[in-house]
Amino acid sequence: MRRVQGRPMGSRAVAVLLLATSFLVAVADPAEARRRGHARKAVSGYNPPYAAMVVDVKSGRTLHAVNEDALRHPASITKVMTLYMLFEQLEKGRYELDSPLTISANAAAQAPSKLGLRPGSTISVEDAIKALVTKSANDIACAIGENIAGSEPRFAEMMTRKAKALGMSRTHYANASGLPDPDQITTAHDLTILARAIQDRFPRYYRYFQTRSFAFRGRVIGNHNHLLGNVEGVDGIKTGYTRDSGFNLMTAAKLGDRQIVAIVLGGKSGASRDRIMADLVRANLPRAYAGARQTAPVVEVAERGRPAVIAEAGSRTRTEIASADNEDDAVETTSSTSTAPLDIRPATTTPGMRRGNLQALPAAAQAYAGPANQAPFPSANGKSTARLPAVEGVASRAEGPPKDARGESAKAVTPTPWVIQLGAMDDEDKAKSILADARSRTGALSKASPYTVRVTHGGATLYRARFSGFAEQGAAQDACTALKKNGFNCFATRS
């Protein structure tokens, strides 16, 4: 027994000493306290929508697909396209690997994850590549876009055009990093195209996605992709995370003569997403075609036009989005604007598309896949040009008095200070239908007034589906919570 000044220490004294020691350890390690708090926050009320797809590279056959055409936020998987654009500049000779990229004040001000370089400083192209692959540095992604295009918005337009040229018809980029923006959207299907294209087009530079750690100015930065070196065959490529996207992962795997690409979007945590992806790789890589490649490399084609529709944010007042790809410390922050949820209730596999021997969703993923009862919207081709539209009552396209969600003659709705939005549809009947369905299944909306807001977005007309009748933010959020319990996505916003 331990002795104090030559006398035995009693059991009561030992207990007091242990308690005091535990307290001091907790105080001395605030990072651990934050980690535990973040873990609790990540679990509570967190249910991102799930989507996944696995494609055999050599045959082009789909080996697995769940909600593969439903719109999702890509988070930091965006940086794969950012690097595609940079690799293209390297290929054209505009940059060398040792060329300097200048950090602007705007780039330096980006939300974490970031390297934290000061305005006016520079970073080499090669270090910038490694910073995106490992640290997923948002400041460096922004700097790449600004150096290539002059501004990040112009670079995002270039990214979107490139996506369309590759056949990623439902993808739209608003920034180079993947930080939250309601217009930053993609699908699991589109991301399988990008995963193949970047390997086909830039085999010399694709090797950077295999980087496990990056030494930069006295720091060693590890890769967020924990499947590298831990799952046989995996050789890249990129993770992603924001609060609204959930935990995302783009993976490429090759074993012997077999090769696949796989996408998982909407994991509840980094660990659960990694387990799902590992299961998909292990189940599908042995099933991939081992003969000579039957498909042509993914190449760019002339840009093809397609009607664009996405759901928009009614307001950018909420500031609870987690920084892109800061997975190990996934926590809410006030450093960026809100992302409005798309109308992204998980959809079934799109009819008519080629699907070969589809497998059931892995058991680890089943908890994240919601009801498959709504088709996704088509893609977005441009930023919204109208954010302050006139308000209209929910109306039928047929002539005559406008009808509300219950089929009754409707009066013009005067929005209350707070409203809730369920999505933005490419057809007013769809907006009316979702409002009627929401009201019939949610008692909290019995006194709320449904209405639509017509907006123009990228040349297409959209109809926001909204409910008025909330004087306070709390009441609107409570109604939205009730809607979510009944399977609807929504958000509260000022009118």
3-4 and 449-457 strand pairing:
unpaired
Q: Active site residue: 136, 169, 245, 323, which one?
A: 136
DSSP character at residue 181: -
Give dist(CA 275, CA 269) in Å, integer: 10
Query: ∠ CA 387-79-254 to the nearest 5 degrees?
Result: 135
> Is residue 403 annotated as part of the catalytic site, yes or no?
no
- Which of 58, 76, 245, 432 is labelled catalytic? 76
What CA–CA distances, in Å, run from 344 to 73, 266, 355, 378? Answer: 10, 11, 22, 12
**Which of the following is catalytic: 79, 135, 164, 238?**
79
Cβ–Cβ contacts within 10 Å for residue 74, how many? 30
Assess whether the previous peptide bond of 237 is cis (omega < 30° from 0). Answer: yes
- Which residues have a Cβ under 8 Å from the Cβ of 122 and sit 6 or more positions away? 100, 101, 102, 103
Is 136 catalytic? The answer is yes
In which residue are the tokens 């799930």 written? 50
419: left (phi over 0), alpha (psi -120 to 50) or beta: beta
Residue 284 is encoded by which pair of tokens? 């599908």
Tokens of 161: 């055009």
387's tokens: 């954010």
Residue 84 sits at the vertex; the CA angle it makes with 78 and 86, to the nearest 5 degrees, is: 110
Q: What are phi and psi of 214, to 5 degrees?
A: -140, 115
What is the spatial distance between Cα 281 and Cα 166, in angstroms, rounded to a whole number? 25
121 given a catalytic annotation: no
Active-site positions? 76, 79, 136
